[in-house]
Amino acid sequence: MTTVIESTWAVPTPVQLRGELAAIDLPRLVERHGTPLLLLDPARVAQQYRVLRRALPDVRPYYAVKALSHRAALAAIRDEDGFFDVASPGEVALVGGLGVAPDRCIYTHPVKKAADVAAAVRAGIRTFVFDNERELDKFAGVEDRVELMLRLEYRTPDALIDLSYKYGARPDDALDLLRAASRRGLRVTGLSFHPGSQLASVEPLLRDIRHAAMLIDCLAEVGIQIEVLDIGGGLPVPYDGAVPHVDSFVSAIEEEIRPLTRRGIRVISEPGRFVAAPAMLAVAAVVGVGRRGGMPWYYLDDGLYGSFSNVLSDHVHPTIYAYDTIYADDAVERDVVPSVLAGPTCDSTDVITTGAMLPALDVGDLVVAPFMGAYTSVTACEFNGLPKATVVVV
């Protein structure tokens, strides 16, 4: 029976944020750059990547570039001799421009243009993912230059985002798909899956590893040897409440993959959020104050179409603090009440939260939100002609 260590990772407290901000002259940065801002700490990116490597030494982590693609973040992982999960020609160009060797990259988008495959192969990338037979035709002419992994559909409805809703082959179709690849002269060396984003427990991941291991055994019985298993991502970070710490996942994962690694099967992963989210702090300013329905409304210069796009696209709810309550010289406690934070666009959908616990704010006051590195700057747009937040490397 797998033993899971009880351990949690909590939302940063105001005192903890005060400590992190002590080395940053935030008012000076705001004076220099204006707001909104995203403060990026590449050292934290590197630290999170190292945490994964130390925690799971038998699982090679390929950082999911889509989570945070800023050059400073990617360079931090490069300098850790890291590996990269890319999914578009743009991401291929980004990591290539940083001098990352193509053999340190895998191309994990299951459905792509034939031209994108050709461009990635020209760049030197060798490993690709597919999840249906029609995708195999896109590798015509490069059969001897690629190896494939079959993406499997393992539904996880209790994950924050079920990443098998859109992609993944049914496991019972795996044999037919591998034979279809073989008929085209393509070599399938691995299986991949994603257990879902922001997992509430390790159990969905363990269930998927077990099922994939059984499938590997079944394929071996008919002469098909699998060399690689990609277990995706899914490790959670704390946005508005405590989540299981990576320590509570480690022993259980190691126990499940040990029979595979003993057989020489390489296990890899695709961490994104876990590495990127803790590395960036959002800073926004109050540009308007009102009262609607008996509640204070504060209109910010960042919102759902900007850095807080993660609320819409990623279904997360970042914790937001008033800056002067966490790092004021006098450190005076102020009464807090439920408040609405709205973004700067004309769209009424642009409301970040209706329940932020905040003191009375005024125009020009700052608010800050930790854990804003993943799916924020990369998913922001310039709706209403409003620029994206400036990313400042600290």
Give the separation between CA 153 and CA 170, rounded to whole angstroms.
5
Residue 186 belongs to some domain of the structure: yes
| Residue 388 and residue 341 share a domain | yes
| Residue 108 and residue 204 share a domain | yes
* pLDDT score for 20: 87
Phi-psi region at 34: left, alpha or beta (left = phi > 0; alpha = psi -120 to 50) = left
Give the separation between CA 56 and CA 101, rounded to whole angstroms.
23
Q: How many CA atoms lie within 13 A of 63 on its CB side?
A: 35
> At 164, is the pLDDT very low, low, confident or very high (cuts 50, 70, 90)?
confident
Residue 102 belongs to some domain of the structure: yes
Residue 28 belongs to some domain of the structure: no
Helices 203-221, 247-262: crossing angle, 10 deg rounding: 10
pTM above 0.85, yes or no: yes
| Residue 282 and residue 358 share a domain | yes
Residue 88 belongs to some domain of the structure: yes
Residue 25 belongs to some domain of the structure: no
* pLDDT score for 7: 81
| Residue 157 and residue 93 share a domain | yes
State the residue range of the domain holding 91: 42-276
Q: Answer yes or no: is pLDDT of 2 > 70.
A: no
| Residue 138 and residue 118 share a domain | yes
| Residue 335 and residue 241 share a domain | no
| Residue 237 and residue 385 share a domain | no
Q: Answer yes or no: is pLDDT of 3 > 50.
A: no
Domain boundary among 276, 311, 343: 276
Catalytic residue among 105, 218, 346, 381: 346
Measuring CA to CA, which residue among 37, 3, 2, 5 is closest to residue 21?
37
Average pLDDT across the chain, whole number: 94
| Residue 266 and residue 231 share a domain | yes
| Residue 190 and residue 126 share a domain | yes
DSSP state of 45: H
100: domain CATH number is 3.20.20.10
Q: Is 105 designated active site?
A: no
Domain boundary among 276, 292, 320: 276
Task: Please write the tens of the pLDDT for every residue from 191-237.
Answer: 999 998 899 899 999 999 999 999 999 999 999 999 999 999 999 99
Pairing between strand 228-230 and 243-244? unpaired
What is the mean predicted confidence (pLDDT) over 39-59?
Answer: 97
Residue 85 belongs to some domain of the structure: yes
Kindly report whether the peptide bond that precedes residue 36 is cis, defined as omega within 30 degrees of 0.
Answer: yes
Q: Answer yes or no: is pLDDT of 266 > 50.
A: yes
Distances (CA, A) of 278 to 5, 50, 89, 165: 22, 13, 27, 27
| Residue 114 and residue 203 share a domain | yes
The structural domain count of the chain equals 2
Residue 213 belongs to some domain of the structure: yes
Sorted by sequence, the CB contacts under 8 Å of residue 59 that are 6+ apart come out as 52, 231, 253, 257, 267, 268, 269
More confident residue, 2 or 339: 339
341: domain CATH number is 2.40.37.10
| Residue 298 and residue 245 share a domain | no
Domain boundary among 252, 276, 300: 276
Residue 181 belongs to some domain of the structure: yes
Measuring CA to CA, which residue among 261, 245, 374 is closest to residue 308?
374
Distances (CA, A) of 356 to 339, 348, 352, 369: 5, 18, 9, 11
Max Cα distance, the chain (Å): 73
Q: Answer yes or no: is pLDDT of 84 > 90.
A: yes
What is the mean predicted confidence (pLDDT) over 284-296?
Answer: 97
Length of the chain: 394
| Residue 299 and residue 242 share a domain | no
